[in-house]
Amino acid sequence: MELNTVSNGGFGPAARKPSCDITNHQSAAGGGSALRVHAVRVGPGRELLAALQALVIERRLRAPFILSCVGSLTKATLRLANATATNTNEVIQLSGRYEIVSLVGTLNPEAHLHICLADAEGRTVGGHVLGGLEVFTTAELVVGEAPDLQFTREMDETTGFPELVVQPRSQTEK
Q: Which helix (H) or strand (E) holds 48?
A: helix 48-58
Q: What is the pLDDT of residues 141-157, one digit of tens each?
A: 999 999 999 999 999 99
Q: What is the pLDDT of residues 53-102, one digit of tens each?
A: 999 999 999 999 999 999 999 999 999 887 666 776 789 999 999 999 99
From first CA to last CA, the distance across the chain in angstroms is: 27
Beta-bridge partners for 166: 151
Q: What is the DSSP letter of 53?
A: H
| Ordered structural domains, the chain, with CATH | 33-173 (3.30.1330.80)
DSSP per position, 74-88: EEEEEE-TT--SS--
Size of the chain in residues: 174
